[in-house]
Amino acid sequence: MPDTGTAPNNGIGFIDGDYMPFSELRLPITDLGFQLSDMCYDALHVRDGKFFRFDDHMDRWDRSISERRFDTLGYDRDQTKNILNDCVRHSDLRDAMVYLIATRGTPTDPLKDLRTCKNRFIAWAVPYYNVVTEQEMKDGCDVIISDVVRIPTESVDPTVKNFGRLDFCAALFEAYEKDARYAVLVDQDGNITEGRGWNIFALFGGRLLSPESGVLEGITRRTVLELCDRLNIEGELAPIPAADLKNADEIFLSSTAGGLMPVRKIDGKTVGSSVPGPVTQRLTDLYWEIHDDPAYSTPVDYTASSND
Ligand SMILES: Cc1ncc(COP(=O)(O)O)c(C=O)c1O
């Protein structure tokens, strides 16, 4: 068990085979994960001592590392799951955000041939957080529709979760200039895509839509669509032209870090008549309820292992 100093609940990380306090994780600047954003990642959460949709996150992770050719990470699926479990166990957190990251690593030849890199695996567990503030969880977020076009899917596959995010950065500065904190980007056809850290849903006269392509296939997005079936809400993936978004009856963002997060204003225009809207509220309630359902959850093993 690593020495977590005086702040054990700041979290525990894992890098290059060792567990350590989260605050001590470091990446060499020679790692091409830093230099080229040649990396991919996943983020899942633990609620009340249970991983939410652990295997669904692992399926997405396995597909990401295979598509991005991270062949030399050195940990198979079971070993990876054990490391994630142990980050949570060592940090002794009951509610946590858990990250797993693959970076290309450091090349060993002068031409920086990608094939000479030993891939690096990094993981951590930190206390659970939302991607918006507590106040915004209650009052709603102000979001702009940015003029920035999301990096085309033909260039970078958005279904592989990654930190290549200069499009989001440009859009966020546009939002700050317009007195908002969040931005949703459009695609080359003028349809809504996603923002940094979330998918988006919009309700139009009883139909709840989320962009069908050009976005990360969020685990929260998938969960919301499953919950729509249970609640007899018509929920589906479909293109949402940017011009239509301002006419939505309700809008919310979806992310592992926060769940369902209501939107108050879009481009300065108030959305609907209450925040959160009634459909958003029903889905939010059921979303947190199913965290206790064994079909969606895997208990963290908090007992010490023989490796401690
Ligand atoms: C770009 C992007 N879209 C969507 C999401 C939401 O995905 P999930 O629901 O799996 O957390 C995230 C999460 O970090 C994200 O980074």
Q: What is the DSSP string of 172-223?
A: HHHHHHTT-SEEEEE-TTSBB--BTTBEEEEEETTEEEE--SSS---HHHHH
How sure is the predictor about 308, in pLDDT bands with cuts at 50, 70 and 90? low
pLDDT more than 70, % of the chain: 96
Distance 125 CA to ligand 1 centre (A): 17
Mutational test site, ligand 1, from 199, 213, 254, max ligand atoms within 8 Å of CB? 199
Mutational test site, ligand 1, from 47, 52, 100, 198, max ligand atoms within 8 Å of CB? 198
- Residue span of the structural domain in which 251 resides: 134-292
Q: What is the pLDDT of residue 304?
A: 76
58 falls within a domain: yes
How many domains does the structure of the chain reveal? 2
227 falls within a domain: yes
**Which residue carries 């699926």 as its tokens?**
77
Residues 48 and 116 in one domain: yes
Query: Distance between CA atoms of 192 and 176, rounded to whole angstroms?
Result: 19
Residues 121 and 147 in one domain: no
How sure is the predictor about 6, in pLDDT bands with cuts at 50, 70 and 90? very low
Question: Which of 106, 129, 152 is at the close of a domain?
Answer: 129
Question: Which of 112, 129, 146 is at the close of a domain?
Answer: 129
Average pLDDT, the chain: 95
pTM of the entire structure? Answer: 0.95
Residues 245 and 97 in one domain: no
